Structure 1
Amino acid sequence: MVREFDYIWQYLDHWADVDEKYPAIKFKDKEISYGELKENANRLAASLLKLGVGKGDRVATVLPMTPEYVCTFLACSKIGAICVPMDVRYRTAELRRFLSHAEPKVIISVESFQENNQRKILDEIKEEIGNPEIFFVGEFDELLKSEPLGKAVEQEPNDDILIIFTGGTTGVPKATLLSHINIVSMALGELKSIIRYIGREERMNMLVHLPPSHVGGTTELLATGLVNGSKMVLIDHWRPDTVLKELKEEKIAFFGAVPTMFALIFSLNVPLPPVELLVTAGEKLNPELLKRMMQWCEKIGVGYGSTETAGFATFSLPEDDPLKFTEGYVGVPFEGVDVRIVDDEGNELPDGEIGEVLVKGPMVSKGYFRQPEETEKGFRDGYWVSGDLGFKKGKELYIVGRKKEVIRVGSYTVLPSEVEEVVMKNPKVGIAAAFGYPHEIYGEVVWVAVVPRAGEVVSEEEIIEACKKELADFKVPRKVLIMDSIPLTRLGKADRIKLKEIILKEFFE
């Protein structure tokens, strides 16, 4: 029977009490038991309290999915602090923007990751982001030398313990607040859905292969693994060959990924290890990809949700015909979740009519951190206003498109304004408008249209090079269109939707 607790840290303590030697984490060649993980989380929690971190204070991480991140997330949950994971691929402009908004008291970071020198970046921006205490992975063991925390700080289930940044309509991405109950209820709903498919309740080995800064990494995989008492196999850098190796060696029962990741795996053209269930979300499955997934595994599940719903809010059923997935079907709501389809005036629409998707339930965030205007726009009477277009057939939900202008590059969300801000730093650029262009593997990639200032000449190469210096690689434009003019709204802003329509007619076949 699936255990139900109010706080995410209670699952750690519960499974450590059941069997302290049972493996909680496997990372590369190292294993950490539930007893060790509980001990380390309690020691780190005590150290954070000594550093002055209190309930509601932020602790940021610039870490890939590693044992240090798992420990930090759980330590924060024990003392009611809010963990704020950053992507290790973020560069100076992004870390400055996000960390200035979050104002963490403590940052735990890698020294460097691939081409990014995080120590140098954090040293440069430390004063601008409030002079937090900064610890690097090499110093992490020092933080584990405190006497373990004896008892978790008194909290309420609705207290927030996680901020995940996601796309928004303004220049600052939205800082989504997620509470214990948001995360636990989502993880319980996901775990129960998986159990329906595989037909048994047991502690399963789980692959945690998405980054901490993505809701899929921290909630859909890590939190669900904790609720299940899983052995969680961590991957710090997603590669299809690494994923296949771990699926085979660790006998992973189910594997979840966005369609882009499945496409990359299939592109290897290698034998695929047996799994009992494949799960996908994020975009509609095309028939060819679904066919290849069904050749790999006979059981396929889909879900729908977002950062604002802590991950999934709906999930398909074992008896569903997988062909419906190619029509945009994304399952039925979890227990206690209400999904409505409304028109532009907020009136609920009957079955079959397309409108905007609203979601209400225990996993829905209460809003955005220090962004009251975005919260007012994004939530209405307890419902998350998704910006997605869909329709219902009874309880079944179908997604047909997006009202939002955000760009979805694989599992990542890119805000057009983030790209445009960098492009507009070039004094020769008059107007810049970024948008998503269809891509067979990533779903979308970033394209940007540029109108030079009168008498100026701008090259595609200089724009791309400037973006490479300031943005994560998935945000760097794949193509720069130098144009004489672009469509504008009545307010004189770049009309990205109209621009995209024009470009698609010209380029996309």
Structure 2
Amino acid sequence: MTTDAPRTVRALLARHAGPVLGAPGRSDLDYAGLAALADRTARQLAGAGVGPGKAVAIVLPNGPEMASCFMAVATQATAAPLNPAYTQDEFRFYMEDLDAKLLIVMRGVDTPARAAAEALGVRMVEVVAGAAAGDFTLADPGGDALPEADAQGNAEGDVALVLHTSGTTSRPKIVPLTSANICASARNIAATLALTPADRCLNVMPLFHIHGLIAAVLSSVHAGAAITCTPGFDALKFFGWLTEVRPSWYTAVPTMHQAILSRAPRNEEAVRAANLRFVRSSSASLPVPVFTALEETFRCPVIEAYGMTEAAHQMASNLLPPGQRKPGTVGVAAGPEVGIMGEDGSILPRGHVGEIVIRGENVTPGYQNNPKANAENWTDGWFRTGDQGELDADGYLSIRGRLKEIINRGGEKVSPREVDDVLMEHPAVAQVVTFAMPHDKLGEEVAAAIVLREGMSADEREIRDFAGRSLAAFKVPRKVLILDEIPKGATGKLQRIGLAEKLGLTA
């Protein structure tokens, strides 16, 4: 690592000039304005008794104020962005779990987080938006600006961001990320994507999620580039934003890319006028047909990457031209070291299947207050991702699936992603999620939920016959559900675990 690489968010903001934050229909905030805002916010937090190591819950709508508030809080305390869609009970759980000292909400926006904070005795302050996108001041609910005090500021080892893992079967784990962790990840992504101050990202990702916070926002800031923050993903508005903002790239999860592709034929003029340098995909597997359709539609490379919260997002990525893109892989190590670990804890040679493990300066130092999870998830300094995969001869990583998502059909192991890949080749299939459903004798059986392409038809038998041409009989889904929509998680990802229950396929 170069010695001048910034290792705190405040140091990142000090390096650049020009526009940084925008929003559709609003003027840009520049780097000097963002740095001044961050300093003012740090002093206001200090005035409220909040400094390094203290968690500040942030519940704001998606948009430029959410981006600037995250960065400003991360210069002085621990930013804890929470999903605005949570219920009062969920807000109470997360704020209590984090021992939040402060809650930041948007003035004029009603949210159950207010009542949760009141019940817990957590002080609440409001964001009062300014004219430029992302500009704000903090005020108490009565309207008075918060008093200021000298701010200590986060050092590189202080926790700047804290997020919970999306636990489906157990209590969510708290992932603390230091200033150095998130700055390293921002640097890695900016380098992978060759970002420059001439770039502008159109952010459609939720900003309570690591993908949006680091891949869209902080990587751009590291490069001195700009980000236009939308109110959230909306396939109907996407092409209008594309025309208005003229971004050089956007990053999204595969379900968003699929929704964009489904509307592209109705927006040919916007597609033709788009001047995207690349499109990025992460946070879930990008089916090869979707990869191909994206490249053909936008006439630019699609860069699939591999990220997770514990790595402050990016771990591996495909390469921009003239580097190689291998559809169906998540590319080469792009920041941390990536290895494949055998069941005995040894690092396996290339070509062998095992658990994907990582180590590097972007990786969390360990789960908060959870020695049991730390003992289970770290081996000899390697973080165990819980994903099964292999590295090919060129160092490109293929993911077979989550180890806990592997379907155990009476001792026969089925990778849901392998089945997904086969079913996605059917001309009528637009989306698919293969998952385990309970079986009284085998323990688990293979099932698949499918959304068909608009105007096309297929029935369960046809889908099963199609799968049987490429898959061993035990891998063919015994149950195929044709749905209008597959239930998604809060960040737009399709989730296998718990899907059988959601769809009523219990034993």
CA distance in 1, matches of 2:33, 2:179: 22
The TM-score, its normalising length taken from structure 2, stands at: 0.73
Q: Does 1:40 align with 2:37?
A: yes
SS at match of 2:15: helix
Supply the distance in 1 between the matched residues of 2:233 and 2:500 (Cα, whole angstroms).
Answer: 21
Paired residues of 2:51 and 2:153 also in contact (CA < 8 A): no
What is residue 67 of structure 1 aligned with on the other side? 64
Map of 2:372 onto structure 1: 373
The alpha carbon displacement at 1:386 in A equals: 0.6
Match of 1:241? 236
Seen in structure 2, the aligned counterparts of structure 1 residues 340 and 29 have a Cα distance that, compared at 3 Å, is same
Is 1:93 paired with 2:101?
Answer: no
Cα–Cα, structure 1 residues 74 and 473, in superposed 2: closer, same or farther, change >3 Å?
Answer: closer
How much has 1:61 moved relative to structure 2? 0.6
Q: Partners in 2 of 1:8 and 1:439 — Cα distance?
A: 43
- In 2, the alpha carbon distance for the partners of 1:283 and 1:481 equals 21
- Is the alpha carbon distance of 1:438 and 1:182 closer, same or farther for their aligned partners in structure 2, counting shifts above 3 Å? farther
More helix by share: 1
Deviation (angstroms), 1:362:
0.9
**Given the superposition, is the C-alpha separation of residues 256 and 4 from structure 1 closer, same or farther in structure 2, using an over 3 Å criterion?**
same
Which amino acid in structure 1 is aligned with residue 283 of structure 2? G
Query: How far apart are the structure 1 equivalents of 2:93 and 2:332?
Result: 37
- State the SS of the aligned residue for 1:125: helix
Matched residue SS, 2:193: helix
Deviation at 1:201, TM superposition (A): 4.2
Equivalence for 2:463: none
The amino acid across from 2:70 in the alignment is F
The residue that corresponds to 2:132 in the other structure is: none
Correspondence for 2:78 among 77, 82, 85: 82
**Distance change (3 Å), C-alpha of 1:97 and 1:437:** farther
Alpha-carbon distance between aligned partners in 1 of 2:84 and 2:224, rounded to the nearest angstrom: 27
In 2, Cα distance between equivalents of 1:255 and 1:261? 11
Residue type matched to 1:4 in 2?
A: A
Q: 5+ unaligned residues in a row in structure 2: which ranges?
A: 130-135, 407-415, 418-434, 436-443, 453-486
**Structure 1 residue 108 corresponds to structure 2 residue 104:** yes
Equivalent position to 1:132, from 102, 111, 122: 122
| Count of aligned pairs between the two proteins | 413
Change (3 A) 1:211 1:244: same
Q: Does 1:214 align with 2:209?
A: yes
Equivalent residue letter for 2:104: I
Percent sequence identity is 24
User: Contact (CA 8 Å) 2:55, 2:78: kept in 1 or not?
Assistant: yes
Query: For the residues of structure 2 that align with 1:440 and 1:259, how far apart are their CA atoms?
Result: 14
Aligned to 1:49: 46
- 2: CA distance between counterparts of 1:360 and 1:123? 39
Question: Are the equivalent residues in 1 in contact too, given 2:355–2:386 (CA < 8 A)?
Answer: yes
Q: Is the 8 A contact 2:387 2:402 kept in 1?
A: yes
Query: What residue in structure 1 maps to residue 25 of structure 2?
Result: 29
Once the two structures are TM-superposed, the CA of residue 316 in structure 1 deviates from its matched residue by 1.4
Q: Secondary structure at the match of 2:137?
A: helix
Are the counterparts in 2 of residues 338 and 359 from structure 1 also a CA contact under 8 Å?
yes
Residue identity matched to 1:287:
V
* Cα distance per residue 1:97-154 (max 9 Å; x no partner): 21110121111113687xxx41xx23432355x411112345963549568777x625
Q: 1:245 to 1:339 in 2, by over 3 A?
A: same
| 8 Å CA contact 1:203, 1:228 repeated in 2 | no
Q: Report the alpha carbon displacement of residue 67 of structure 1 after superposing the two structures with TM.
A: 3.2
Q: Residues 178 and 283 (structure 1 numbering): CA distance in 2 closer, same or farther, change over 3 Å?
A: same
1:343 and 1:288, CA in 2 relative to 1: closer, same or farther beyond 3 A?
A: same
1:228-377 matched pairs, under 5 angstroms: 228-268=223-263, 269=265, 270-271=267-268, 272=271, 273-295=274-296, 296-317=298-319, 318-319=321-322, 322=325, 324-326=326-328, 329-335=329-335, 337-377=336-376
Q: Take 1:26 and 1:142, find their aligned partners in 2: how far apart are those partners? A: 20
Which residue of the partner structure matches residue 425 of structure 2? none
AA aligned opposite 2:178? S
Amino acid at match of 2:358: V
C-alpha distance in 2 between matches for 1:12 and 1:217: 18
The CA distance in 2 between the partners of 1:43 and 1:304, in whole Å, is: 35
- Partner letter of residue 252 of structure 2? A
The residue that corresponds to 2:185 in the other structure is 186
The residue type paired with residue 59 of structure 2 is V
Q: Is the 8 A contact 1:316 1:330 kept in 2?
A: yes
Find the aligned partners of 2:255 and 2:368 in 1 and give their Cα distance: 30
Q: Following the alignment from structure 2 to structure 1, what is the Cα–Cα distance between the partners of residues 224 and 23? A: 16
> Could you give the per-residue CA deviations for residues 445-480 of structure 1, whole angstroms, max 9, x where no partner exists?
xxxxxxxxxxxxxxxxxxxxxx99xx9998997975
User: Residue type of the partner of 1:372?
Assistant: P
Structure 1, 369-378 or 204-213: larger mean CA deviation? 369-378
CA drift at 1:8: 1.7
In structure 1, C-alpha distance between the alignment counterparts of 2:121 and 2:283, rounded to whole Å: 37
Q: Alpha-carbon deviations, 1:33-86, whole Å to 9, x = none? A: 22222222211111111111021001111112333323322222322x100000
Deviation per CA, 1:310-330: give whole Å up to 9, x if none: 1111111234554x323xx11
Tell me how large the CA RMSD over aligned residues is.
3.4
* Unmatched tracts of structure 1, length 5 or more: 409-415, 417-432, 442-466, 487-509
Amino acid aligned to 1:10? A
Distance 1:405 1:131, change over 3 A: farther
Q: What is the rounded CA distance, in whole Å, between the counterparts of 1:482 and 1:361 in structure 2?
A: 42
